[in-house]
Structure 1
Amino acid sequence: MIRCFLRVPFSVDAVPPIDVDSPCSRVLSASAVAAALLLMSVHGHAESKFTDSEDGAFDLSNLLLTHRGVLPVPTLITEPAVGYGLGLGLLYFSLPKKSADAPDDSKAPPNITGLGGFATGTHSWGAGLMHFHTWDDDHIRYLGLIGKVGLHLNYYGIQNQPRAYQLDGIAVVQQVLFRIGNSHWYVGPRYTFFDASTRFDSTIPAGIRQFERDQRVAKGGVVVDYDTRDNMFYPSSGTYAELEADLARGGLGSSTNFQEQTARVYQWIPLSKSWVLGLRADTGFSQGNIPFFAQPYVSLRGVCDAKFQDSNQLTAEAEIRWNATPRWSVLGFGGAGKAYGHLHSFSDAPTAFGFGTGFRYLVARKLGVTMGIDVAHGPGQNAFYVQVGSAWR
């Protein structure tokens, strides 16, 4: 579950909505989508800042960039791990000065400042502030995040039976990446801190080692990124890969010592002018005395986050997209994963799976920002997710 605030949601490489791959990250604006659909039907009467001069369609690019507008993101939370709820995010976009006059294919990604909060029917809540910034024509990428959460969650353990617990805490993430020459490679440090308090409603479940109610997770590590995507929000071609190696030690502020390595690779392959194939591989490995809530877990649409959680995880997913028009796209997806290492061996670990369909509308062409909905089926449940951009963060 710690991925909700410790695994950077607004990742420097793929600035998503405020959570980016977690209960907090499946948080996007249903009401904003509805409003967009309504406005699109009457775009001919809207002011020019709500339309695109290229095709006359409803578009927020001019509002967000030229008019320095703030994008309000009323949110409908649909992540099964924390229940249904509502929230609000405010996103402010600006273009880096040095790249404002550069050709389209060489512009740096926009700077983004975000402020948001949410609450759900399970009495889970959270609030956070983030900032993503680039300098020197995208040769330096910075990400900062601070947030506070109070989450009511389930731990599934050896028997794969839900045991309710509460997780409260404050999280801070700081990351700076530097481009290697003029290549597509970035490298730099990341520091993550989470001051956590956990409480189970009953006895401590079997399988949790050295349970401590109050713990601090403080990790320092090195991040290596490779990025050739044509757009950071909703790519149609290119590759994004990230490798991260972290150490949690007392000298960094951690209550326990452990190591963690993660790797994820996303590939978008244009099959034709209208069809795009997406491939995803995601792995996480840990060693040492890692807190149970910070362990790697399988994250898939249709799968309750942290239901499949252990010392290690492997996940694969594919997505096919049909660009029906320059603005509208329809997609289908499916994937599977396993969590193993402490509670289960790889061969004995249950397999998580999720598949479904969805759509997107290009709501800000100059930024490449899309909005839409995904509907998914997983083990014993159905779920839907209102999405801004790609579901892969």
Structure 2
Amino acid sequence: MHKQAVTISRQFRKLQPLLWLLLALSTLARGADGNVPPSSFDPTAGQFDMSDMLLHHKGVLPVPDIVTEPAIGYGFGLALLYFTMPSQREQDSVDDGTQPNKVGPPNITGVGGLVTNTHSWAAGLMHFHTWDDDHVRYLGVLGKLDLHLNYYGPQGNANAYQLTGVGVIQQVLFRLGDSPWYIGPRYTFLDSTTRFGPLIPAGIQHFERDLKVGKGGIVIDYDTRDNIFYPSSGTYGELEAELARGALGSDRSFEMQTAKGYHWIPLSSRWVLGLRTDLGFSQGDIPFFAQPYVDLRGVSQAKFQDRNQLTGELELRYNVTPRWSVLGFGGVGRAYGNLHAFSDAPTAFGFGTGFRYLIARKLGISMGIDVAHGPGQNAFYIQVGSAWR
């Protein structure tokens, strides 16, 4: 699925009052008599924890969302996540009751949707699965969307348009021996319809109302994180090279390359520094909505979009207790190549603060809220683990 459609998964991370979130989790964990069963608490630490319920009692983690993204309006969303852990991996893990277990990723099945006051809506299914002691990783996504968005032309003015479509992602990665390197194919497809007003904005070339985008590519991952949700140490990097051709189901021929790297440095037992780099490049007859864009907390999705983009971000975390942590973050980025040269491109920025609670220690899942400020706006996000995906 193209870059714009991928933003739907990120909409499930926005603001929802913490009280509502905890109430939903507590209600889910309660028994028929209204009493909280022992599985809702960590037996080694005596604190609220959903690990046993999610892993052994077929529990579902709800992620509610009040959408506050200016790109698609204001509304409500909900995702339901179901977790399983391969039994051998769970038996091999060390459980001292204080920190997340350093184990491979769990299997995750999710369903979600959102609707906003601009009549935008989206729904999707996803599944992530590992085999052979995390030597094979599979990701599958199926989604349908109907979004009312803005395209920002050379002068930065907003031009309203509607994007509807059905998309799919299929990816399989294979570990190279016992190393932290993975490599494998990815295929994405979107059958889209785009509608503008009576005039097509400046900066859009070869506009087509109905367009199929089919891309195939190679993905290379490097992963030494201590867990995939909220790492305290390690590195995650991904290189991806994709091409769209008629043989892959695409009406346009173009190429895209992306690179992202996240590195977490434990400065002490309480302080963790995170570093992020995100790069995107494109060539050929790429549709305007599929171009790379700057993705930062506090920045409206796809507002800074062009042929290429460069983004950097820092995050500093303080672990107040083994369960609670607070953090501050800030980043900048530029999109350039068609509408602007790099030296003339406007600079996007976003900074803010947030907190997390370790809600499922055995899975390493933390949940919390980030509050961010960007160019002319503020934004709020519910986060499941790290904001970096």
1:61 aligns with 2:51: yes
- Residue 287 (structure 1) aligned to one of 279, 283, 292: 283
Instruction: State the Cα deviation string for residues 168-216 of structure 1 (Å, max 9, x = none).
Output: 0000000000000000000000000001100012310011010000111
Partner of 1:182: 178
Q: CA deviation at 1:46?
A: 2.6
**How many Å separate the matches in 2 of 1:260 and 1:225?**
17
Partner of 2:140: 144
| Cα pair distance change 1:54/1:111, threshold 3 Å | same
Partner of 1:46: 36
Partner of 1:18: none
- Please give the secondary structure, in 2, of the residue aligned with 1:99: helix
Asked if the contact 1:26–1:386 (Cα under 8 Å) also holds between the matched residues in 2, the reply is: no
- Please give the secondary structure, in 2, of the residue aligned with 1:101: helix
1:169 aligns with 2:165: yes
Partner of 2:85: 95
Partner of 1:127: 123
Q: Match for 2:222: what amino acid?
A: Y
Q: Match for 2:12: what amino acid?
A: V
- Residue 74 (structure 2) aligned to one of 84, 87, 90: 84
- Residue 333 (structure 2) aligned to one of 323, 334, 337: 337
**How many Å separate the matches in 1 of 2:17 and 2:81?**
13
Q: Match for 1:127: what amino acid?
A: A
Q: CA deviation at 1:97?
A: 3.4
Q: CA deviation at 1:23?
A: 4.8
Q: CA deviation at 1:29?
A: 6.8
Q: How many residues align?
A: 376
Asked if the contact 1:230–1:236 (Cα under 8 Å) also holds between the matched residues in 2, the reply is: yes
**How many Å separate the matches in 2 of 1:271 and 1:378?**
28
**How many Å separate the matches in 2 of 1:348 and 1:178?**
42
Q: Match for 2:3: what amino acid?
A: R
Instruction: State the Cα deviation string for residues 139-175 of structure 1 (Å, max 9, x = none).
Output: 0000001000000000001110000000000000000
Asked if the contact 1:4–1:25 (Cα under 8 Å) also holds between the matched residues in 2, the reply is: no
Partner of 2:207: 211
Partner of 1:16: none
Instruction: State the Cα deviation string for residues 37-87 of structure 1 (Å, max 9, x = none).
Output: 5688xx9x7321111112111111111011111122222222221122112
Is there any run of 5+ residues in structure 2 with no aligned partner, and where?
Answer: 95-100
**How many Å separate the matches in 2 of 1:235 and 1:107?**
12
1:26 aligns with 2:11: yes
Q: CA deviation at 1:27?
A: 1.7
Partner of 2:297: 301
Partner of 2:194: 198
Q: How does 1:375-390 map to 2 (within 5 A)?
A: 375-390=371-386
- Residue 61 (structure 2) aligned to one of 64, 71, 93: 71
**How many Å separate the matches in 1 of 2:112 and 2:170?**
18
- Which range is displaced more, 76-85 or 143-152? 76-85
Instruction: State the Cα deviation string for residues 91-135 of structure 1 (Å, max 9, x = none).
Output: 110012342322346632100000111101111100000100000
Tell me how large the CA RMSD over aligned residues is. Answer: 1.8
Asked if the contact 1:23–1:82 (Cα under 8 Å) also holds between the matched residues in 2, the reply is: no
- Residue 328 (structure 1) aligned to one of 324, 336, 341: 324
**How many Å separate the matches in 2 of 1:319 and 1:205?**
37
- Residue 254 (structure 1) aligned to one of 245, 250, 265: 250
Q: CA deviation at 1:4?
A: 4.3
**How many Å separate the matches in 2 of 1:24 and 1:225?**
20
**How many Å separate the matches in 1 of 2:293 and 2:104?**
32
**How many Å separate the matches in 2 of 1:60 and 1:30?**
21
Partner of 2:268: 272
**How many Å separate the matches in 1 of 2:17 and 2:104?**
26
Partner of 1:263: 259
**How many Å separate the matches in 2 of 1:230 and 1:32?**
29
Q: Match for 1:3: what amino acid?
A: K
**How many Å separate the matches in 2 of 1:245 and 1:259?**
8
**How many Å separate the matches in 2 of 1:278 and 1:139?**
26
- Please give the secondary structure, in 2, of the residue aligned with 1:25: helix
Q: Match for 1:206: what amino acid?
A: A
- Which range is displaced more, 334-343 or 65-74? 65-74
1:239 aligns with 2:229: no
1:109 aligns with 2:105: yes
**How many Å separate the matches in 2 of 1:131 and 1:291?**
28
**How many Å separate the matches in 2 of 1:67 and 1:119?**
31
Q: Match for 1:182: what amino acid?
A: D
Q: Match for 1:145: what amino acid?
A: V
**How many Å separate the matches in 1 of 2:165 and 2:316?**
38
- Residue 226 (structure 2) aligned to one of 217, 224, 230: 230
**How many Å separate the matches in 1 of 2:281 and 2:46?**
49
Asked if the contact 2:14–2:380 (Cα under 8 Å) also holds between the matched residues in 1, the reply is: no
**How many Å separate the matches in 2 of 1:179 and 1:317?**
28
